[in-house]
Every structure is written in C-alpha cells, then in structure tokens.
C-alpha cells in the first residue's frame, strides 16, 4: 500500500498531504473561504487538526467578529497571504490593477486531486508518473479583480517532499501588473529555529552560515539576473539542538536560475512567515486578459533526522525526479580541460599533445575551453563570433576532433553563448542586441555585454550558432558558461510597460535554448557553468546533469565549497577536477593524491597540462582513474553522510557514501593540518547496517590484503582509528564491504 496520499475532509474542510514520514495540512475557514496553513512536519494520524489555526480564539473569524477583521488577518496562519487587506506581514502576491490599486484578497473557490504531476510550461520542475506522484490544485479567487490563483502541491512516493508552485490567471477585461508573486509561503510558530543559508563569492561559493532569527525580516536573495555566487536559492530552519543525524530541519529550495528572494519574518506573536519566490526588485509583469503567469517551483522538505536526512532526501529527489539526462545513471567520461593548462595560448598541436598523454593515462575526453573562435586571444574580444579561429586550429574544428577521436578520446567544447564582446563583428553589426539603457554608459564586466535573449532574432542567432558548431564535428560534451551578471536592465525590444519583465523573460529564454539543445542533441553531455558556480541551482539541473562547482580547484578550498554544495545536491552533479599546483587561485600546493580524493566526490576530471606536470604526479593519474572506475557507481548512487567538517573543526574533514543496500561504503578523510604530539582520532561512521559485518580496507587497494572485520554498530558507535599522517593536506580513502556481499 502506498504511503503517499492526498485527502480532503468535506466536513472539516481540511486537505491532508501525506508522504512516508511527513504530513502537510491546509484548511478552509469561515464563510468567506480563507485558505489557512494548518501544519507541516512529522507525519500525524489525524486528518483534521483545524484547531492548529486557532480560529476558536479571539478575535475569531470575521463572520463572528467583523469589527476586528484586521486582528484576524494580523494573526491567522495564511497559506497564500494577500495584500493590503489587513495582514501587515509580507504578502505572497502584489499587483497594480488598471486603477493603480494594489489590494488583493484570495479566497477558496475549488480544488482537484490528480494522479501524477503536471509540468510547468517553459520552466524546469520536478516530474513523476501517476504511480509516483499525486497533486493537489486549489483555485482561489479575487472576484473584485477577476483574478484566479491556482496553488499546486505535489507529493512523491519515494521522497518526503512537497513541491509547490503558483499560477495567476487574469479573468477580467483589463490588464494588471504583478509586482510580487511568491511560489511558496508558510506560517508557523517559532520554536527554537535558526536560519541556515549558503553564501559566498567568486571562487568561494556556497559557504554554510547559521544565524539567529530575530524579530522582523531576515532574507537572502539575488538581483543579479542569476542565482549568483553571492547567495543561493536555499534556506533551512534548523532546530537549536539539530546536528547531522538528529533534530528538526525544514528545507526550502527554489527551482529557478534567476533573481530570487528567500525570507523569514518573525512577527509580534512569535510566529514565522517563510517565503520563497522571484525577487520583487525590478519585477513588474503585465498579465493581459486571459493570460496566465506561471511562477517557478519551490521544494519543501522536513527531516527529523537532522541535516543529513534533508540532504539525502534532496539528493534522491534530484536524481530521480529532476535530472533528465541519459548520463544521470551512467559514469561520466573522465575529461581533461585545457583552460588552466594553456588559457588562450594553444593550437592544434598543443591540444593533440595533451590528448596523446591523456590517453596513455586513461583519461577519456579532451575539452577545448575558451579561445578557439573569432580573434579570441584574450578575454577582450570576439564573444558572439562563433567561428573557428583557423590561425590556431589549422583546417578548422573537424580535423582536430577527428584526430582526437583517432587518438581514442571523446571531444568537448566550451561556449559562452549569452554574451557579446564590444570588439566583435556581432556587436558592430547589432549593438541594439545587447541589454542596455539608452543614453547611459554601459556597465562592462570582463569587458563583455549580455545579449537580449528576449528578442526572438537574438535567441535564434545564439541557438543556430551553437548548433552549427555541434553539427560540424563529433562533439559529445558542451560546457555552457556565463561569466558576468546582468546590469543596465533595458531592452530595445520590450515596450515601456514591459521593461520590468526583462530579467524573468531572460531566464525563460535560457531555458528555451537549453531545452532545444538537449532535444536536438539528445546524447550530448551538457555541463552548466557561470564563472564557476554562479548558476549552480536546481533549475539548471533540469537541463544538465552536472554543473561546474567553482573556479577554485584548490583541494582545501573545495572542502568547504563541496560541503555546502553536497548539503543539497547529489555528488554526481558536482563538477570537480584535479588541477596543478601551486593552485592558480590561491597559490597553495597540496599532494596530488589529496587533489584526486577530493575530486572523486564529484564528476571527476583534470584541469592541467599533463605534458608538463612532474612524472611523479603523472604516474598517479592511472591510479586515480582506476579509483574513479572502482567507486563512481557508489559515489553517484549512494547515500551521503557528513562525518566531520573542516569548516567547523579547522583541522580535518570527513564524509562517507553508503550504498542503498548498506553493503558498501567509501569514507574519505582529509587531514588539513597536522598537530604536533597528537595521536590517532576515532572516526565514528554513519549509515551502516548495525547487524552487518564489514571488511575495512584502504580504499586505494580494496581487493588486496585481508582487512579487519567489524560489525556496523561497532564502526558507528565506537568508530575506527584514523592515524595522524605526516604533513598537511594528507588524505585517505577507506572502503567497507559487507561480508558475503561478493565485493
């Protein structure tokens, strides 16, 4: 019998959405049909718990006490709070009608319970079949405005998740302008929750930060036209005593790649209003009569097993219900990228030299990065001119690709399709194609502008340019980059009343481009990138199974970056490479083995000149390649457990991946700093079957040696000793195999 169910109690007017371990309740109250939030959390048995909305307390509902209607709105836990009608907390919807008024009041009209999960037109979203998902749609109306709002909730058979989205339909005869539309809003009591968010900058993305939730509004967001390096479209409410495997956690994650806001408001009554959606700054969207505006999707998850429970739920959701690529369940080819090896200074022979050495070491793909087109000898020119530079690549692209294939490697290529250089044939011909405000000095970043993809002719030019290159040779991988953020928000295509639509329309255009690309080239491995990890978000995972995590490839910096990333994303999505030392970002030198072990917790590849590295380092590449092939299925498909955090203890880092059947585990330990006069430390493992006996071996050679054998409960409760290693930045892999597993 399925654990997943959506029910409606006609008598109490309560909707109940149950996953295997969580319940979500919505109630309709009063004659007017206010839509209230009843409960979200650990699964409960009662199908009606309307008392949780406290409508039996003064000031009571408006039909019983209309003189204090404002007091009702000021405290009632709204499921989709309206605007300018008495609720002084943040609203979920705001608009300007034809008379310039901004009052909105949404009340219940109808509902539907569906098998399966409808898609969202033009937007990425989670998916599932009729046996995997159920969906509740609640229609609310503002009859004064002729406005219909549809709230959608989908639940899944295999993960404890509620996927929420909102659409707005104009059923009047006049246009209105949306100025705020949150995809999810929840009112709940503040108990002892702290706010967990992810912050950073270029080369230090997704650092975890926890803070107290004070009175008033606390928010993170981006108005940069993308999800950004600086903030991330995620937040979690974490109980004061929560840890990796215990305590309550509410996670919220936005499936969108543009401007966003994630906000918690603590009120006078010590309640919380939690909201997530498109950032209202620079957002003003005209909805004409009969039109529908669809907001992106927010993922909600509740865990009573701490941060680790939330992480594993989101990992499973994204692997099974968001990533669509044929590569999602397959090993990715081990690639070598020439960016840090050569930057712009390369030619055909240099690339072939790298390919030959890479093939000897077991590497499977050569990726040609920036500098292959136009007159691109530095980053000041030629973006938009996607024609091969034959001074570098004699005879063009196809002869190079054919030779690389004959050597035995696949071939991949880098694009930055959304951009244009002022020094380019494209810009000289079409300066009006760039996003700009007429009369103002344009803001350059990396000496480039952003193309106005909301213009159909621009979008078609961009797509055809990329497709023409991909058709010209056997190209099996694309790295899609975006190296600057949006400024000067002006479009010569959009009208005066529609300029506030530019940022959202831009994101929709990017989605259209990538959707077309993966449909025309279904076997293509697409990796998204934006100056590293500035567009590492769930929206991009819908189109590419992996995203470049950060331009910082230093193994120690990556410990913190990848910890924050793996908090919410599966390891299979995290673009990670072994690079040369001293590292090109921070100048640090780390052992080649540690660089490899850290990159194994991701897609795995190389970012170096294999023709120039030391023979000692080069000799380790075949060993690392063998480790990848030995463990990648486990890393890609297994459950992730965070055991220790260098970010917190400042000395060492440790994580594990455990197979779904608990028969295998791979533990990675990184000793960042060695301490004098210090002995081994006990590392308590997680996620094992307490009743299974495990053979514990060094992960570099699990098939050699006897290995010690212990019960899972011993390894988790007492731990295993991790001896102090000589020197800083050292690492070990420990492999565990259950007795009788055939491993």
Q: Is residue 327 part of a domain?
A: no
Residues 631, 733: Cα–Cα separation, whole Å: 11
Contact 683, 667 (CB under 8 A): yes
Range of the domain at 727: 642-738
Q: Is residue 444 part of a domain?
A: yes
Domain shared by 514 and 658, yes or no: no
Distances (CA, A) of 414 to 411, 424, 448, 480: 11, 18, 17, 6
Which of 30, 142, 316, 551 is the catalytic position?
551
Residues 603, 479: Cα–Cα separation, whole Å: 13
Is the pLDDT assigned to residue 66 strictly greater than 90? no
Domain shared by 588 and 679, yes or no: no
Domain shared by 221 and 311, yes or no: yes
Residues 329, 578: Cα–Cα separation, whole Å: 23
User: How high is the pLDDT of residue 706?
Assistant: 64
Strand pairing category for 93-96 and 107-115: unpaired
User: How high is the pLDDT of residue 743?
Assistant: 58
For residue 55, name the pLDDT band (cuts at 50, 70, 90). confident
Q: Which residue has the higher pLDDT, 702 or 93?
A: 93
Q: Is residue 411 part of a domain?
A: yes
Instruction: Name the domain count of the chain.
Output: 3
Convert the pLDDT of each residue in 210-253 to its tens digit: 999 999 999 999 999 999 999 999 999 999 999 999 999 999 99
Q: Is residue 329 part of a domain?
A: no
Burial degree of 422 (CB within 10 A; 0-12, 13-18, 19+): middle
Q: Is residue 180 part of a domain?
A: yes
User: How high is the pLDDT of residue 742?
Assistant: 58
Contact 344, 380 (CB under 8 A): no
416's tokens: 């930055």
CATH code for position 593: 3.20.20.70
Q: What is the mean pLDDT of residues 425-453?
A: 96
Q: How far is CA 710 from the centre of its chain?
A: 37
Convert the pLDDT of each residue in 354-379 to its tens digit: 999 999 999 999 999 999 999 999 99
Domain shared by 646 and 631, yes or no: no
User: How high is the pLDDT of residue 705?
Assistant: 59
Among 9-23, 72-86, 613-627, 698-712, the range scoring the smallest mean pLDDT is: 698-712
Is the pLDDT assigned to residue 494 strictly greater than 80? yes
Domain shared by 21 and 85, yes or no: yes
DSSP for 75-138? HS-BSS--BSSS--SPPSEEEE-TTS---B--EEEEEEEEES----TTS------TTTEEEEEE
Among 537-551, 670-684, 712-726, the range scoring the smallest mean pLDDT is: 670-684
Contact 396, 390 (CB under 8 A): yes
Tell me which of 267, 297, 321 is where a domain ends. Answer: 321
Domain shared by 541 and 655, yes or no: no
Tell me which of 603, 637, 671 is where a domain ends. Answer: 637
Q: What angle do CA 548, 551, 554 make, to 5 degrees?
A: 110
Is the pLDDT assigned to residue 1 strictly greater than 70? no
Domain shared by 452 and 580, yes or no: yes
Sheet of 365-368: strand order equals 574-575, 546-548, 525-528, 477-480, 410-415, 365-368, 335-337, 605-607, 578-579
What is the residue whose two structure tokens read 């390369």?
Answer: 346
Can you point out the beta strands (E) in 563-633?
574-575, 578-579, 605-607
For residue 461, name the pLDDT band (cuts at 50, 70, 90). very high
Q: What is the mean pLDDT of residues 67-78?
A: 90
Instruction: Give the up-direction half-sphere exposure of residue 478: CA atoms within 13 A in the CB hemisphere.
Output: 24
Domain shared by 418 and 449, yes or no: yes
Sign of the Cα torsion 265, 268, 272, 276 reads negative
Tell me which of 321, 355, 379 is where a domain ends. Answer: 321
Residues 142, 580: Cα–Cα separation, whole Å: 61
Q: What is the mean pLDDT of residues 315-341?
A: 97
Is the pLDDT assigned to residue 419 strictly greater than 70? yes
- Report the first-to-last Cα separation within the chain, whole angstroms: 34
DSSP for 493-546? SS-GGGGGGHHHHHHHHHHHHHHHHHHHSTT-EEEE-BTTBTT-SHHHHTT-SE
Strand partners, 260: 222
User: How high is the pLDDT of residue 120?
Assistant: 98
Q: Is 609 annotated as catalytic? A: no
Q: What is the mean pLDDT of residues 478-497?
A: 96
Q: Is residue 326 part of a domain?
A: no
Contact 658, 689 (CB under 8 A): no
Domain shared by 314 and 384, yes or no: no
CATH code for position 721: 2.60.40.1180
Q: What angle do CA 267, 271, 275 make, to 5 degrees?
A: 85
Convert the pLDDT of each residue in 187-210 to its tens digit: 999 999 999 999 999 999 999 999
Strand partners, 112: 137
User: How high is the pLDDT of residue 197?
Assistant: 98
Q: Is 481 annotated as catalytic? A: yes
Q: Is residue 328 part of a domain?
A: no
3-state per-residue secondary structure call for 288-304: CCCCEEECCEEEEEEEC
Which of 30, 87, 369, 481 is the catalytic position?
481
CATH code for position 42: 2.70.98.60
Query: 384-414 burial, b for 16+ CB within 10 Å, e for fewer?
Result: bbbebbeebbeeebeebbebbbebebbbbbb
Q: Is residue 454 part of a domain?
A: yes
Domain shared by 601 and 650, yes or no: no
Residues 19, 3: Cα–Cα separation, whole Å: 6
- Average pLDDT along the chain: 96
Domain shared by 623 and 659, yes or no: no
Domain shared by 488 and 547, yes or no: yes
53: nearest Cα among 89, 81, 25 = 25
Query: 181-197 burial, b for 16+ CB within 10 Å, e for fewer?
Result: bbbbbbbbeeeebebbb
For residue 133, name the pLDDT band (cuts at 50, 70, 90). very high
Residues 425, 436: Cα–Cα separation, whole Å: 18
80's tokens: 């989709």
């Amino acid at each position: 019998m399925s654990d997943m169910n959506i029910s409606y109690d006609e008598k109490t007017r309560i909707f109940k959405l149950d996953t295997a371990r969580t319940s979500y309740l919505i109630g309709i109250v009063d004659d007017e049909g206010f839509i209230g939030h009843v409960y979200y959390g650990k699964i409960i048995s009662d199908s009606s718990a309307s008392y949780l909305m406290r409508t039996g307390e003064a000031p009571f509902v408006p039909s019983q006490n209309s003189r204090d209607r404002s007091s009702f709105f000021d405290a009632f836990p709204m499921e989709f709070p309206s605007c300018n009608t008495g609720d002084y907390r943040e609203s979920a919807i705001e608009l300007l009608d034809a008379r310039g008024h901004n009052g909105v009041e949404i009340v219940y009209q109808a509902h539907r319970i569906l098998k399966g999960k409808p898609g969202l037109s033009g937007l990425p979203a989670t998916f599932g079949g009729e046996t995997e998902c159920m969906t509740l749609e609640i229609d609310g109306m503002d009859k004064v405005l002729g406005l219909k709002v549809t709230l959608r909730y989908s639940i899944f058979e295999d993960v404890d998740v509620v996927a929420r989205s909102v659409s707005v339909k104009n059923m009047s005869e006049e246009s209105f302008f949306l100025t705020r539309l949150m995809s999810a809003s929840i009112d709940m009591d503040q108990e002892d929750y702290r706010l967990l968010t992810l912050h950073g900058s270029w080369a230090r993305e997704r650092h975890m930060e926890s803070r107290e939730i004070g009175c008033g509004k606390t928010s993170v967001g981006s108005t940069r036209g993308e999800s950004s390096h600086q903030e991330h479209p995620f937040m979690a409410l974490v109980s004061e005593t929560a840890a990796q495997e215990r305590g309550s956690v509410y996670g919220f994650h936005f499936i969108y790649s543009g401007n966003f806001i994630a906000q918690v408001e603590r009120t006078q009554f010590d309640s919380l209003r939690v909201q997530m959606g498109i950032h209202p700054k620079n957002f003003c969207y005209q909805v004409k009569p009969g039109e529908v505006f669809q907001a992106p999707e927010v993922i909600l998850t509740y865990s009573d097993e701490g941060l680790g429970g939330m992480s594993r739920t989101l990992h499973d959701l994204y692997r099974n219900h968001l990533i669509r690529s044929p590569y999602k369940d397959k090993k990715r080819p081990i690639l070598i990228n020439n960016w840090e090896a050569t930057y712009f200074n390369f030619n055909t022979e240099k690339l072939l030299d790298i390919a030959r050495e890479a093939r000897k070491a077991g590497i499977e793909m050569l990726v040609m990065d920036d500098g292959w087109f136009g007159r691109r000898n530095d980053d000041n020119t030629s973006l938009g001119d996607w024609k091969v530079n034959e001074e570098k690549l004699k005879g063009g692209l196809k002869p190079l690709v054919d030779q690389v294939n004959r050597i035995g490697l696949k071939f991949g290529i880098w694009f930055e399709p959304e951009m244009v250089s002022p020094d380019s044939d494209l810009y000289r011909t079409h300066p009006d194609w760039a996003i700009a405000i007429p009369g103002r000095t344009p803001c350059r970043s990396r000496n480039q502008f952003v193309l106005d993809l909301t213009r159909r002719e621009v979008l078609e030019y961009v797509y055809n340019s990329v497709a023409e290159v991909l058709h010209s040779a056997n190209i099996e991988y694309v790295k899609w980059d975006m190296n600057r953020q949006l400024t000067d928000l002006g479009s010569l295509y959009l009208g005066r009343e529609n300029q506030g639509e530019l940022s959202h329309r831009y994101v929709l255009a990017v989605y259209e481009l990538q959707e077309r690309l993966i449909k025309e080239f279904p076997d293509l491995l697409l990796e998204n990138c934006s100056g590293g990890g500035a567009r590492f978000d769930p929206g991009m995972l819908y189109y590419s199974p992996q995203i470049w995590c950060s331009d910082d490839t230093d193994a120690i910096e990556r410990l913190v970056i990848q910890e924050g990333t793996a908090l919410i994303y599966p390891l299979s999505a995290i673009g990670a490479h072994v690079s040369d030392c001293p590292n090109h970002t921070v100048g640090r030198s780390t052992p080649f083995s540690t660089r490899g072990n850290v990159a194994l917790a991701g897609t795995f590849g190389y970012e170096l000149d294999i023709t120039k590295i030391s023979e000692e380092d080069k000799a380790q590449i075949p060993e690392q390649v063998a480790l990848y092939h030995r463990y990648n299925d486990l890393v890609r498909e297994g459950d992730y457990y965070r055991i220790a955090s260098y970010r917190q203890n400042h000395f060492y880092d440790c994580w594990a991946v455990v197979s779904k059947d608990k028969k295998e585990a791979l533990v990675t330990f990184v000793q960042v700093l060695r301490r004098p006069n210090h002995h081994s430390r006990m590392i308590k493992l997680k996620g094992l079957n307490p009743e299974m006996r495990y053979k514990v071996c060094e992960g570099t050679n699990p098939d050699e040696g006897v290995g010690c054998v212990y019960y899972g409960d011993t390894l988790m409760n007492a731990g295993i000793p991790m001896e102090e290693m000589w020197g800083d930045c050292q690492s070990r892999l420990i492999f565990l195999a259950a007795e009788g597993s055939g491993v």
